[in-house]
Chains A and B, each alone.
Chain A
Amino acid sequence: MTTRSSVNLQGWLLLLPAAVLLVTFTHYPTVATLYHSFFSTAKPGRPSAWIGADNYRTMVEDPVFWQVLGNNVWFALGTIPASIALAILMAVWVNAKIAGRGLLRLSFFTPTVLPMIAVANIWLFFYTPGYGLLEQITALFGLPSHNWLGSRSTALPCLIVVTVWKEAGFFMIFYLAALQSVSPHLHEAAALMGAGRWYFFRRVTFPLLMPTTLFVLINAIINSFRLVDHIVVMTKGGPDNATALLLYYIYDVGFKFWDAGYAAALTLVLLVILAAFAIGQFLFLDRRVHYQ
């Protein structure tokens, strides 16, 4: 029989290697972000100094910050409902006895495996003015040439399309898993009572998919704040910051203007947003346990 203290020792020893790395690269930088956000950025001949909330004051008055935050909200609103709706549709089709469903699943899921940077390159070519496939299609209909990624009104929607294309297939597999666990007896019962297919989906399938939808939703929200690879490749945040998302702005401020103090303040905003969703997810997981 092992003693209490040896259990403590063994437990902590097993955890130690992972704990050291987690503390160094997750907990320490989180706290350091807060701390450094109260300091000015060191410049030649002028070391970094405590400046209180100045970075935050700059942020509140920075129109780009607000624009970027707004972009991020629009980006989330543009990508999330669309990719979830498409994911459900794809899953329902792939789950049904439809001809060639293996090929369909392959087509829907393949974008998930590709690197975002490769996806961005492919779509960059697709959107190229005068030469890309999109321009060729619009020219067939006699529409005038348009710089899709170069104009403020269409650049963000173009990125939204790319993201939906990349993510819908990923979310599809979670719905597929959920659909496969729906009992076939429910179908038979509904058919006996003469329920239509749409009615059955709305009143039976969709409610049963709710936990999956919440799970996918949280993931999609996190992704919309975490993934900016395509922006680096396709627009660099332009034109006029029309496509800059929060993390991309942090990257710009931190590694192009080398303003570490302001970048820390911006990162803190991102961390607060992510923490808010973390707490939301915690509450949701709690609720799901009750429903089971």
Chain B
Amino acid sequence: MSRPARTLETIAAWLLGLLWALPLAYAVWTAFHPAQYSTRFVPWAPLTLANFAKAWDAAPFARYFINTTLLVTLILAAQLVLCTLAAYAFARFSFRGHEIAFLLVLVQLMIMPDVLIVENYRTMSRLGILDTLSAIGLPYMASAFGIFLLRQTFKTVPKELDEAARVEGAGMLEVLWKVYVPLARPVYLAYALVSISYHWNNFLWPLIVTNSVSSRPLTVGLQVFSSGDQGIDWSIITAATLMTSAPLLVGFLLFQRQFVQSFMRAGIR
């Protein structure tokens, strides 16, 4: 290819890159400057953290952070245990009805809890657990996606390893724990990253089942805060927005490669 064409293409790529970075850069500018500079882009505008401080004081963000952290941990822990057991069953036990059972599991890949909001709300209300972290997490704990991903991985483990462990007298769960789980470590990491970012960001279902500070996750807390009509200014809302996304964003910047690879591994199934 000719040199001018190559240069032109590089410029085009950079323009698109700048365009893509612009909204976030704009948010960062607004959050770190006093309100009067939020749309005046002068290089000597004074930097400030006051917007973050004001946002932090204006709503119980500390509580929201705790709620989201607990929620994400709870869901991930349950997912890892339940999906590991189920995946092991599908990978190594040809029990009666395993084919139909597997198809029924896969149904959840298409009909996700995200769309069954009306009936699941009814169930939570009947269980009497509305407005709790369990109500937010329960529909996601048995994840078809996790079961599928781990089953594929467990199937690649040589049967001889399994048999050798059994000959040495290891029980079923011991084999799972000592042979299968260690070999699937990269898959667990990929799944965990995807799960954490999904549930840190999840919004609609938590919005529906929560209505108090004690159970609201960050996303819902942010929405309650920014839609409150007490005339909060944009600098503070933007600061709150960046604050709630910061842990994921920082994690992503530090572990870019792992994130990209995890999303890739988890996506191509």
Which residues of A line the B interface, CB within 8 A?
A: 7-12, 14-15, 17-22, 24-30, 32-33, 36, 86, 89-90, 93, 98-100, 103-119, 121-123, 125-126, 128, 131-133, 136, 165, 169-170, 173-174, 176-177, 197, 215, 219, 222, 225-226, 228-229, 232-233, 247, 250-251, 254-255, 260, 263-264, 267, 270-271, 274-275, 277-278, 281
Q: Which B-chain residue is minimally distant from A236 (CB atoms)?
A: B227
**A264: which of B17, B119, B248 is its contact (CB, 8 Å)?**
B119
Residues on B with C-beta less than 8 A from A173 are 260, 263-264, 267
Given A8-B96, A11-B93, A115-B203, A250-B226 contact (CB < 8 Å): no
Q: Give chain A nearest CB distance to B132 CB in angstroms.
A: 15
A10, A14, A27, A119: most-surrounded residue (chain B CB, <10 A):
A14
Given A125-B238, A232-B203, A250-B118, A21-B223 contact (CB < 8 Å): no
B20: Cβ under 8 A from any A Cβ:
yes
The 3 tightest CB contacts between A and B, nearest first, are A11-B95, A29-B119, A11-B93
**A113: which of B109, B111, B115, B197 is its contact (CB, 8 Å)?**
B197
Given A30-B116, A113-B259, A115-B244, A19-B264 contact (CB < 8 Å): no
Q: Indicate if the CB atoms of B117 and A250 lie closer than 8 Å.
A: yes
Taken residue by residue from 207 to 231, chain B's Cβ proximity to chain A (1 for < 8 Å, 0 otherwise) reads as 1100000000001001100110000
Q: Indicate if the CB atoms of A271 and B89 lie closer than 8 Å.
A: no
Residues on B with C-beta less than 8 A from A165 are 20, 23
Q: Give chain A nearest CB distance to B206 CB in angstroms.
A: 10
In the assembled complex, 22 residue pairs joining A and B whose CB atoms fall closer than 8 Å, in A order, are A9-B95, A10-B172, A15-B86, A18-B142, A18-B147, A22-B142, A25-B113, A28-B119, A30-B119, A93-B9, A107-B20, A114-B245, A115-B200, A116-B203, A117-B203, A122-B27, A174-B264, A226-B115, A233-B223, A250-B115, A254-B121, A260-B118
A10 to B249, CA, bound (A): 42
**B83: which of A18, A136, A176, A254 is its contact (CB, 8 Å)?**
A18
B13: Cβ under 8 A from any A Cβ:
yes
A11, A132, A133, A251: most-surrounded residue (chain B CB, <10 A):
A11
Q: Indicate if the CB atoms of B260 and A109 lie closer than 8 Å.
A: yes
Residues on A with C-beta less than 8 A from B89 are 10-12, 14-15
Q: Give chain B nearest CB distance to A285 CB in angstroms.
A: 10
Q: Give chain B nearest CB distance to A56 CB in angstroms.
A: 16
Q: Indicate if the CB atoms of B264 and A125 lie closer than 8 Å.
A: no
Residues on B with C-beta less than 8 A from A136 are 39
Q: Give chain B nearest CB distance to A59 CB in angstroms.
A: 14
Q: Indicate if the CB atoms of B204 and A21 lie closer than 8 Å.
A: no
Residues on A with C-beta less than 8 A from B105 are 18, 22
Q: Indicate if the CB atoms of A27 and B104 lie closer than 8 Å.
A: yes
Q: Indicate if the CB atoms of B10 and A170 lie closer than 8 Å.
A: no
A110 to B139, CA, bound (A): 28
Q: Give chain B nearest CB distance to A108 CB in angstroms.
A: 6
Residues on A with C-beta less than 8 A from B88 are 14
B62: Cβ under 8 A from any A Cβ:
no
A32 to B226, CA, bound (A): 36
A28 to B111, CA, bound (A): 12
